[in-house]
Amino acid sequence: MKNKHVIGVFDKEENLVNAINALNDHKISIEEIYTPYPVHEAIHGLGQKSRFTWVAFFLGLVGAIVVLAFLYYTSVIDWPLNFGGKPSSAFPSFIIITIVTTILIITIGSLFTFSVRAGIYPGKEAILPDERSTDDKFVMMFRQEDDSEQLRKILQENGVEEINEKEL
Amino acid sequence: MYKEAIRGPLILGDKSFRQISADIIQPIDKRPPLWWKAAFGLSLAMLAMGAWAIYRTIFFGIGTWGVNNTVGWGWAIINFVWWIGIGHAGTAFSIFLLVLRQKWRTSINRAAEAMTVFAVMAAALFPALHMGRIWNFFFIFPYPNTRGPLWVNFNSPLFWDFVAITAYLLISVSFWYYGMVPDFATIRDRAKSKIKKAVYGVLAFGWTGSTKEWLRYENLSYVLGGIAAVLVVSVHSIVATDFAVSVIPGWHTTIFPPYFVVGAIFSGFAMVMTLMVIIRKIYKFQEYITDNHMDAIARILIFISLIMASSYLTEILIAWYSGNEYELFTFFHNRITGEYKFMFWAMITCNAIIPQLFWSKKIRRNLWAMFTISVIINIGMWYERFNIVVTSLANDYLPSSWTNYSPTLEEIGIFVGTIGLFIAGILLFFKYIPMMAINELKSVRDSGSKFRKKIEQMKIKEEDLI
């Protein structure tokens, strides 16, 4: 279903950041901000948070346990081989494979998590409020119900370039 | 730490964001120039020679190579270690500098990562062919099988190597690709032709650049950067243990893992420098790859070259100090003065002596000098691997089995083929992929002036910082 949105286009990062602060002071909610590169003030201004590092940590923990268990199962339980009388449970020499494979598991797992949580995957169609936001513009998007005189005034005061309306 | 206030801005000539995108995307929009076509043709010819050599190797076996019972590892392993070494710098460069928040990586990391991907592909070919029966390659995967089920030997460095290289290749490719997604979106939104819009649209995975995406994107790159930094160190350490756990004099030393890692980063950084000179010269990117960028790479090369020189000396010192006669023989009679002394002295000259020229600022500002020295370093690194692999094996404990080694046309052909693969890959990269991370360039455009403003606010003079 398509909804109408109000879209403010900024030319400068400074102006965008000032506008975010002013809007937050007036408790006007911003739906989303599109920038050509990561602007940390925008991310914090929207109150975006991520538990990504925790996901990676647990992937690593689970990965390490699974790999060590696999090595123990294959080399000690399922088919122990005699290497010059050395113990089959050669823990120190399992460590290297464990580290490398855990890193691989974290990588694949985090790429998957990123795809799911950020909604970035092959074949997805990009819906942009303004196509210039991947090039040189900073774009703010508002829900129509948040539209007000005050909102437009704050945007104007902070040097917005254009205010458009678009159905997305 | 690279401070723009002291060492100059990262991007010269007040550029608008639009200008930055236009500059970097411009080689993609243009038709490939004549030199590109000529170079691509040449690389395809080299690949054809490689294909012939691989055909001979697979159909007639390892017997077509010059290796024998005494020298069981020849060019294949030398080239494998050489390529893997080159493949190290990309990720090392990009990730260590990312984790250390070094902003001067922005104009270099993309090309360095591309180099890694193609170099690791070239490297992976050698152990696969060296298996002899490449159609049984899948035996190395640990999976429940009909052979017992007989699992692979998890205590063998050769198997660790397989795991490490596979992981390294996958991680390098994904780190590289995910770095490019926002730039593909930029190309998609700027493109006028429908085909280009569709192709880069698919590659961009629906990227929009919303805060929700950027937040996770940055987290992803720090997580991948942090863990892949471990991998950079471990992959080449594992390659070193292939040698170090044997009982061959000259290989059986504890210095090997760090020595190999440093050597790998050395040859890789040299290759980064070679590539940067080419990109800067041909595509006229001197505003993005500034003199200061080149200077920073050269300084790192001097530093690593000194570590290399001390590693060589340490090896020789320990051989003498240990009093082990086999070590003494290998180092003093076999390497320094023996039949292969040319390789030893070439290694010392190219890796320890010539890079010292970078102490001069004149040389660090001269592109031709930098190009030549960086190529010489990689030649020297190849001699180092030859020195390690062949001299230790050719004259071992049993004088009756001493022999010489020289490569056959098939071995040379495979090496030429991998060079062709590398060049072809780099040329395709020049043509179809933005050579620098456009979004990262935009984010550092103003960092120099921001830094200056902060200093002004804190009322510190710039001179006091030095």
How far away is chain B from the Cα of A110, in angstroms, using its nearest Cα? 7
pLDDT of residue B466: 42
Q: How far is CA B109 from CA A43, B187, B433, in A?
A: 25, 19, 13
* CB of B129 closer than 8 Å to CB of B76: yes
Cα angle B274, B10, B300 (rounded to 5 degrees) comes to 45
Most confident of A44-58, B215-229, B315-329, B408-422: B408-422
Q: Where are the domains of chain B?
A: 4-465
Q: Chain A within 8 Å of B184 (Cβ-Cβ)?
A: no
pLDDT-above-90 percentage for chain B: 26
Q: Which of residues 313-352 of B touch A (CB under 8 A)?
A: none
B103, pLDDT greater than 80: no
Cβ of B198 under 8 Å from any chain A Cβ?
A: no
- Closest Cα in chain B, distance from residue A142 (Å): 13
Average confidence score pLDDT of chain B: 86
Which residue among B149, B182, B211 places its CB closest to the CB of A48? B211
Q: Is B338 in a helix, a strand, or coil?
A: coil
pLDDT at A80: 81
Using a CB-CB distance cutoff of 8 angstroms, which residues of chain A are in contact with residue B154? 71, 74-75, 90, 93-94, 97
Residue B235 C-alpha, separation from nearest chain A C-alpha, in angstroms = 8
- Contact with chain B for residue A109, Cβ under 8 A: no
**pLDDT tens digits, B428-455:** 998 888 888 888 888 777 766 665 666 6
- Contact (Cβ atoms closer than 8 angstroms) between residue B211 and residue A48: yes
Interface of B with A in 144-163 (CB under 8 A): 148-151, 153-155, 159-160, 163
- Give the pLDDT score at B218: 86
3-state secondary structure of B52: helix
Helix%, strand%, coil% for chain A, nearest 5: 55, 15, 35
Using CA atoms, how far residue A77 sits from A83, B139, B148, in Å, is 15, 20, 13
8-state DSSP, A12: -
Considering the four listed CATH numbers 1.20.1630.10, 2.60.40.10, 3.40.190.10, 3.30.470.20, the one that applies to the domain covering B4-465 is 1.20.1630.10
B171: Cβ contacts below 8 Å, ≥ 6 apart: A103, A104, A107, B91, B224, B228, B231
Rounded mean pLDDT, B259-275? 91
Residue of B160, B149, B145, B125 whose CA lies nearest to A101: B160
Best B10, B14, B17 member to test A by mutation, with max A CBs in 10 Å, is B17
Find the largest Cα–Cα distance for chain B: 77
A120-154 pLDDT, tens digit per residue, is 888 788 788 877 888 888 888 888 777 777 777 77
B315-335 pLDDT, tens per residue?
899 889 988 888 888 888 888
Q: What is the pLDDT of residues B167-184, one digit of tens each?
A: 888 888 888 888 888 888
Dig out the tokens for B2 from the structure: 């690279």
**Cβ-defined contact of B170 to A104 (cutoff 8 Å):** yes
User: A107, B149: Cβ pair inside 8 Å?
Assistant: no
Rounded CA-CA distance B437/B419 in Å is 26
pLDDT at B415 over 90: yes
Is some CB atom of chain B closer than 8 A to the CB atom of A47?
no
- In the stretch 122-151 of chain A, residues with CB closer than 8 A to chain B read 122-128, 131-136
Domain A4-49+138-167 class in CATH: alpha beta
The percent helix, strand, coil of chain B (3-state, each to 5) is 75, 0, 25
